[in-house]
């Protein structure tokens, strides 16, 4: 029995970091699901590669679905939290809410619910903010953009104010639909996220 216990203890010492590595859960829409691309080209796949290169051993789980809204993410999140028990949740949702003209207050409520559910499970939260094209009108686009920092401030979550900074509206960085980033834009997208994400790992 003593021999078995010693062997088990040695195994835990040797394999502990890998066995107990945390999980980074990404809950997003087409921006994180690498719409129109090979998923290996997407910023989430590039994130996983960078983490390995820099010595982080967390597992990255990409639970993003193209077309998803904040309501869809809020509905899916409880099961994802139970299944993966993440130490960090990255929320990249809201773009489809805006494109559909849904009320910013509804987006705010959904994001707040996701942040609170994640924090109640002991996870840190990073919100990736989004902005809309100006053709949606100043009043709506302003109210929409304000949701992300407001939720982050009220619930003590980390924030990237605009995940598509330097990408959105740049023809060479966007696919022909003008909505989804190209493969060439994915490293820039990761660079937008990384400075805020890294301290949370």
**Is residue 1 assigned to a domain?**
no
**Is residue 35 assigned to a domain?**
yes
- For residue 69, report the phi and psi dihedrals to the nearest 5 degrees: -110, 175
User: At 152, which CATH number?
Assistant: 3.40.50.1110
pLDDT score at 48: 98
Give the model confidence (pLDDT) of 141-183 as tens digits.
999 999 999 999 999 999 999 999 999 999 999 999 999 999 9
Distances (CA, A) of 97 to 21, 28, 57, 185: 34, 12, 34, 23
Q: Which residues are paired to 61 by β-bridges? A: 25
Instruction: For the chain, list residues with pLDDT below 50.
Output: 2-20
Catalytic residues: 30, 177, 180
Q: Are 92 and 32 in contact (CB under 8 A)?
A: yes
**Is residue 5 assigned to a domain?**
no
**Is residue 67 assigned to a domain?**
yes
Share above pLDDT 70 across residues of the chain, in percent, rounded to a whole number: 90
pLDDT score at 21: 72
Handedness of CA 151, 157, 161, 165 (dihedral sign): negative
Task: Tell me which residue range forms the domain holding 191.
Answer: 23-200
**Is residue 18 assigned to a domain?**
no
**Is residue 155 assigned to a domain?**
yes
DSSP SS3 for 17:
helix
Count of structural domains within the chain: 1
pLDDT score at 12: 43
**Is residue 168 assigned to a domain?**
yes
pLDDT score at 7: 47
**Is residue 17 assigned to a domain?**
no
Please give the Cα distance from 56 to 52 (Å, whole number). Answer: 6
Which residue in 42, 44, 98, 43 sits closest to 70, CA to CA?
98
pLDDT score at 193: 98
pLDDT score at 165: 97
């Amino acid at each position: 029995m003593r021999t078995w216990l010693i062997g088990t203890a040695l195994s835990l010492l040797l394999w502990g970091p890998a066995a107990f590595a945390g999980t980074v859960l990404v809950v997003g829409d087409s921006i994180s699901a690498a719409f129109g691309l090979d998923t290996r080209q997407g910023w989430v796949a590039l994130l996983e590669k960078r983490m390995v290169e820099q010595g982080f051993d967390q597992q990255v789980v990409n639970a993003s679905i193209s077309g998803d809204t904040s309501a869809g993410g809020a509905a899916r999140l409880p099961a994802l939290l139970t299944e993966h028990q993440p130490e960090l949740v990255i929320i990249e949702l809201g773009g489809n809410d805006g494109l559909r003209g849904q009320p910013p207050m509804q987006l705010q409520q959904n994001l707040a619910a996701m942040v609170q559910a994640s924090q109640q499970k002991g996870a840190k939260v990073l919100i990736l903010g989004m902005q809309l094209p100006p053709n949606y009108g100043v009043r709506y686009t302003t109210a929409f953009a304000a949701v992300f920092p407001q939720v982050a401030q009220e619930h003590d979550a980390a924030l990237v104010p605009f995940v598509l900074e330097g990408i959105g509206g740049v023809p060479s960085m966007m696919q022909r639909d003008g909505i989804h980033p190209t493969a060439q834009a994915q490293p820039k997208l990761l660079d937008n996220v990384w400075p805020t994400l890294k301290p949370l790992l």
